[in-house]
Amino acid sequence: MPSTGVLDDIAFWTTWDFTILLMSFCIAKFVIRMPFVVIFFIYKYKRRHLAMDKNIEEFLQAHNNFLPIRYSYSNIKKITGNFKHKLGEGGYGSVYKGKLRSGNKVAIKIWKPSKAHGEDFINEMATIGRIHRVNVVQLRGFCFEGSKQALVYDFMSNGSLDKHIFTEEGDKLDNWKIYEITLGVVRGIKYLHRGCDMQILHFDIKPHNILLDENFTPKVSDFGVAKLYPTDHSIVSLTAARGTLGYMAPELFYKNIGGVSNKADVYSFGMLLMEMAGRRRNINANAEHSSQLYFPPWLYDQVNEGKNVEMEEVEEERKVKKKMIIIALWYIQFKPNHRPSMNKVLEMLEGDIANIQMPPKPLIYPLDEPVNDDKAEMELETFSTSSSTPILSTSIPFGESNDV
């Protein structure tokens, strides 16, 4: 009769053999099934993208009457010299300099394959394709060949506004030129809100998206997150916040302060104007003092106390700069119905500073961390909606109209 030790060894090896056999079976099953799983997902992916490509193509055909020239991808490669001169890069892809047969210079936006899902492309085509305005960038052509998507714009020789107002080197724009650029931006946004057959909300007004031509004429650009609404809609529906942190209106996060409207663009313009007047970013994580971390409240205190804010200009330029700051403070009021309309800003900019009241001090709505990154585009769900931030109850003399 076998000893107990021998029986234990037999039991051990029998169990081990069974385990190995079971593992081998599972691995073999996985290896056999894996190609089918991969093929299935590839099929689903291609089917989804083919359906999306079909939808985009149908859109292009349906709106062919207002679309510019359509280029093939091989044409785009020729125009850019095989993508030789890159002008910039963002989360969407890259922008290249090109030259048409006519000799006109163009800037061509090429989407990354991972971003070429069609939504941003359709947004820009649907919005900017119908716009012909001096203060809005002009779409000259496009390319759509599946994942190969491109938009062709006029080339802006002076680049984006941020390169001029945030630089510490080179020739800065003087205050009068900044003032002229401000007027142009106002006219551009006003046209988007009320100048077309549809109301266009940009949702991403910031210095990086204001381009300057050879005469420093400003052009509102980048309509990737823009939305179209009927002109009679003062409040619009939006399922997720869109834009760049530091320029996004608080009502995109806090639903209890008012609905989303064109006042969201008004807020973004106010933040833009603040940076244009102050020549620095509104959020500065490297500020020496905590009071200067967020620029608008600090600047409000300086102006309200009658202090000069690093103003070395002559008296008239100082007045223009102060006027821009006060107007910007009106436009970044926490509640949307406390902000003036884009029509009102033209009156304020062209009027006497003595007729402009000082607004209430702007409230800070909390963000997770200071951000000054042009790529910081977030979904609404990314942010916490809990806040103890008080809501302004001061009576504001601009009413509650959303008219532009």
Q: Cα separation of 260 and 227, whole Å?
A: 12
Residue 201's φ and ψ, nearest 5 degrees, are -100, 125
**C-alpha atoms less than 13 angstroms from C-alpha of 103 in its C-beta half-sphere:** 0
Q: Cα separation of 22 and 35, whole Å?
A: 21
112 assigned to a ligand binding site: no
Q: Cα separation of 251 and 334, whole Å?
A: 8
Which contacts of 367-372 are long-range, i.e. CB under 8 A and separated by 24 or more positions? 367/245, 367/246, 369/285, 370/283, 370/284, 370/285, 370/293, 370/294, 371/245, 371/246, 371/283, 372/246, 372/281, 372/283, 372/284, 372/285
Cβ neighbors of 170 (< 8 A, separation 6 or more) are none
> Interior CA angle at 97 toward 246 and 116, to 5°?
60
Report the first-to-last Cα separation within the chain, whole angstroms: 101
Based on the residue annotation, tell me whether 213 is a catalytic residue of this protein.
Answer: no
How, if at all, do strands 69-70 and 93-99 pair? unpaired
CA separation, residue 325 to residues 142, 158, 359 (Å): 39, 25, 11
Q: Cα separation of 23 and 8, whole Å?
A: 22
Q: Cα separation of 382 and 213, whole Å?
A: 36
Asked if 275 and 246 touch (Cβ cutoff 8 Å), the reply is no
Cβ neighbors of 198 (< 8 A, separation 6 or more) are 130, 228, 229, 230, 231
Helix axes 342-350, 263-278, angle to 10 degrees: 30
CA-closest candidate to residue 345, choices 332, 361, 364 = 332
Q: Cα separation of 327 and 356, whole Å?
A: 8
Residues 120, 204, 265, 374: which is the catalytic one?
A: 204
Residues annotated as part of the active site = 204
Point out the annotated binding site for ATP: 109
Point out the annotated binding site: 109
